[in-house]
Amino acid sequence: MAETEGQLILNRPVSEYVHWKPIDRTHAYYKNKLTGQVYIGHLTNLYDNEEDRRTFALMVNGAGDAAANVLNHENLVSVHTEILEQHWVLDKDADGGEPVLSDPHRLILYDYCDAGTLKTLLGRPPVARTVHGPFMPESLCWHVAISLIRALQWLHEGIRDIYNVAEDKQSRVWWTAQTRCVRVRVRSEPQVGWLPILHRDIRAENVMLSHPKGIETYGTVKLGGFRKCVVTGGILHGDGVGKEDAVALAWEKKWDAWKDEILDPGIVRMREGYGRWKQEGRAAEEIFRPYTTGSDLRAVGAVLYEMMFGWPPPAPDECVAMGCNACHWYRKSEEPQGAAHVQSNPGCMADLDLDSFPDHLNYTSGLKKLLKTLMGLEHKIAPLASTVMDDAWLGYQKWAASSAPAARAYRDVYDDIWMRRQNEWRMQRRQEKGLVAPISTNVGNMGALDPDVKVI
């Protein structure tokens, strides 16, 4: 016998997510009934503009699964699931107001970052801005920079870092507040055929912060704001395709004016633009200036710059402040030897020497080196995010192992994994002695090694 509409809704599995608090017309907080984890639900079939309408059409046609596969990283605002909601409502047109099922509401659940954005933190700094800094603590600068580079390593190359820890062989004692674990950084192999994704909108407003869940000093940092993302037509890792194919044009200002005429510039037009940029440099028109993987990394450098200096850096190309139109970036090493640098526009902001601009700040050399590397990558293709991550990791490890009080007090996710793992070992020993009843746990699998990973 066929199911009636009432039987159909009763036979559906009960969702593990429950509506918690409304945010606005199309967003609300949802909570997992089993874990208590909070997510943001986006109602996609209520839309007020053309962009949201296209998003809903894509979701109906199955694009949600593809988006969830890509936005699936601990340092990205990730998509968790899609749910359909229906409610019993009174049919006002029927006699007596009979109950009927409402139209299905299609919701996307994604990460909720409960500590706001980096922009909010920069607007309410813990210390006053000074010429020599430091502005934000070095531990927070490292934490944000490494997190964002990890996110780009995934978006650009399909490479994921896997966390693991080992016992400190020098001390050979159990973990205490004074003893640190050995961080084991493990990196997966690049995804086969991965098409690089350029974010194109990395700024403090899109850097989401969370409160710590364990003993770590800071919570997870996640990159959000994917409205300007572009999937390129090149492959960074693989045979037969050059690295220079993975480019996209940085023509956001002209994109809005042209979008009714040109919705997709195409990979051929992108390559032509990059070729013209290599020949003409800044003499090329703005629409021919490429936005590359290096441009994303330079944007991370701009975020780090603001955290270290307390104010944003000048634009990498022509300055748009009050008709200045000058480029405030230069390299002293590329100017004639012995010649004094001539200020591009004395009436505007000071020029930025990419060779030495952060040297006077009271940060470690490793962090200042990372900042200079990132800020010099605008419009470039090499080095890739994974290479930058390797260098950044060495500088971070050196700082974390130093005797600086801030470094000794700092705890990261590796320390939290180490503590949880040792708590499990202690519990297992107590169980073996019959002191406590056995419990089920999978903490020991945290950071387990896969056959496709590479130890750095």
Which CATH number characterizes residue 217's domain? 1.10.510.10
Q: Is the dihedral of CA 55, 58, 60, 65 positive or negative?
A: negative
Domain-located, residue 327: no
Residues 9, 147 within the same domain: no
Residues 152, 78 within the same domain: no
pLDDT digits (tens, 9 = 90+) for 270-287: 667 677 777 777 676 666
Residue that is last in its domain, among 111, 139, 170: 111
Query: 57 or 242: which carries more pLDDT confidence?
Result: 57
What percent of the chain has a predicted confidence (pLDDT) above 90?
28
* pLDDT value of position 125: 75
Cα 258 to Cα 221, 251, 262, 276, distances in angstroms = 35, 10, 6, 20
Q: Could you give the number of structural domains in the chain? A: 2
* pLDDT value of position 102: 64
Domain-located, residue 244: yes
* pLDDT value of position 383: 86
Residues 212, 295 within the same domain: yes
Does 202 score more than 80 pLDDT? Answer: yes
Does 371 score more than 90 pLDDT? Answer: yes
What's the mean pLDDT in 178-199? Answer: 81
* pLDDT value of position 432: 79
In the chain, helix, strand, coil percent, each to 5? 35, 15, 45
pLDDT digits (tens, 9 = 90+) for 342-358: 677 777 877 888 888 88
pLDDT band at 139 (very low <50, low <70, confident <90, very high): very high
Domain-located, residue 138: yes
Query: 455 or 184: which carries more pLDDT confidence?
Result: 184
Domain-located, residue 36: yes
Residues 380, 399 within the same domain: yes
DSSP, res 291: E
Residues 59, 204 within the same domain: no
Name the residue range of residue 140's domain.
118-158+194-313+353-411
Domain-located, residue 290: yes
pLDDT band at 88 (very low <50, low <70, confident <90, very high): low
What's the mean pLDDT in 38-53? Answer: 77
In sequence order, the 6+-apart residues with CB closer than 8 A to the CB of 224 are 76, 77, 113, 206, 207, 208
> How far apart, in whole angstroms, are the C-alpha atoms of residue 1 and residue 161?
53
Q: Quick one: how far is CA 279 from the chain centroid?
A: 33
Residues 27, 149 within the same domain: no
What's the mean pLDDT in 355-365? Answer: 88
pLDDT band at 340 (very low <50, low <70, confident <90, very high): low
pLDDT digits (tens, 9 = 90+) for 292-311: 889 999 999 999 999 999 88
Residues 89, 73 within the same domain: yes
* pLDDT value of position 196: 86
* pLDDT value of position 289: 73
Does 440 score more than 70 pLDDT? Answer: no
Residues 138, 36 within the same domain: no
* pLDDT value of position 81: 83
The answer, as to whether pTM is greater than 0.85, is: no
Residues 16, 106 within the same domain: yes
Which CATH number goes with the domain that contains 43?
Answer: 3.30.200
What's the mean pLDDT in 227-253? Answer: 58
Do residues 77 and 68 make contact, with C-beta atoms less than 8 angstroms apart? no
What percent of the chain has a predicted confidence (pLDDT) above 70?
69
Residues 77, 224 within the same domain: no
Domain-located, residue 25: yes
Residues 107, 127 within the same domain: no
Domain-located, residue 456: no
* pLDDT value of position 238: 53
Domain-located, residue 239: yes
Residues 266, 308 within the same domain: yes
* pLDDT value of position 75: 97
What's the mean pLDDT in 432-453? Answer: 53
Q: Which of 191, 118, 117, 184 is nearest to 153 (CA)?
A: 191
What's the mean pLDDT in 240-265? Answer: 44
